[in-house]
Amino acid sequence: MPIQALLFDVFGTLADWRSTIAREAKALVAPRGHDLDWEAFADAWRAEYQPAMEEVRSGRRGFVKLDTLHAENLDRILPRFGLAGLSEGERIVLNHIWHRLDAWPEVSEAMRRLSAAFRLGSCSNGNIAIMVDFARHNGFRFDAVLGSEVTGAYKPDARAYLGSVEAFGLEPGDCMMVAAHSSDLAAAARCGLKTAHIARPNERGPGKGEARPSVPVDHAARDLADLAAILGA
């Protein structure tokens, strides 16, 4: 049975979050007289991501969407960078950068090719509005935004994968999870999905990213255009 649908991780796999956050935060805040290491700022914000979701995954907190966690995480890190004085309005604008992340260079064209051959779903921990705005910003569309907000669960919770598969009306083996993170793919494989790894060797800075998977996968691709070629799209 051929693959019917591709499910995509987004932050890191499709989106170059680090460069966009660093550049756009600088553009917004530097004119107010702040000079700081903007890549370190992006890294610090992102470092709060897993701990915040873990509160939900562990059951200590009910499901809240990522826009809310991002805002709380921003409040947490601003004092470390001398930015405790930013207004609520400035914080809202900063938080919205996550809605207009740049895709990696080959992604938009590759997504349009893949869309002709497969149903495309986001299976991200980002909420629906982030995914909608990200896809529009980069000139493609998902067939459906799935993942955390639709399933009420954060990856690697199995419900995030299985709920996304079920929303498409498919079986896990009909679907392929596409991600730049071996842990994500390992969790998807445990749920019965096929897996494709996308190399993003510079995701978290030069040389700080997965150049290849550390777990068994069905396909390992150099980038999304390579995956499209592998899948014959």
- Chain residues that interact with its own copies, rule: CB under 8 A: 67, 115, 119, 127-129, 131-132, 135-136, 141-146, 149-150, 167-170
CB of 146 to its own copies, least distance (A): 8
Between 168 and 182, name the residue whose CB sits nearer to its own copies: 168
Between 55 and 143, name the residue whose CB sits nearer to its own copies: 143
**Helix or strand holding residue 121 (H, E):** strand 119-122
| Contact between residue 7 and residue 160 where contact means Cβ atoms under 8 Å apart | no
CB of 131 to its own copies, least distance (A): 7
Closest to 219 (Cα-Cα) out of 173, 179, 192: 179
Between 48 and 166, name the residue whose CB sits nearer to its own copies: 166
CB of 90 to its own copies, least distance (A): 18
CB of 38 to its own copies, least distance (A): 25
Between 22 and 69, name the residue whose CB sits nearer to its own copies: 69
| Contact between residue 76 and residue 55 where contact means Cβ atoms under 8 Å apart | no
Between 166 and 218, name the residue whose CB sits nearer to its own copies: 166
- How, if at all, do strands 144-145 and 175-179 pair? unpaired
Q: Please give the full DSSP string across 129-195, using - where no structure is assigned.
A: HHHHHHHHHTT---SEE-SHHHHT--TTSHHHHHHHHHHTT--GGGEEEEES-HHHHHHHHHTT-EE
CB of 84 to its own copies, least distance (A): 26
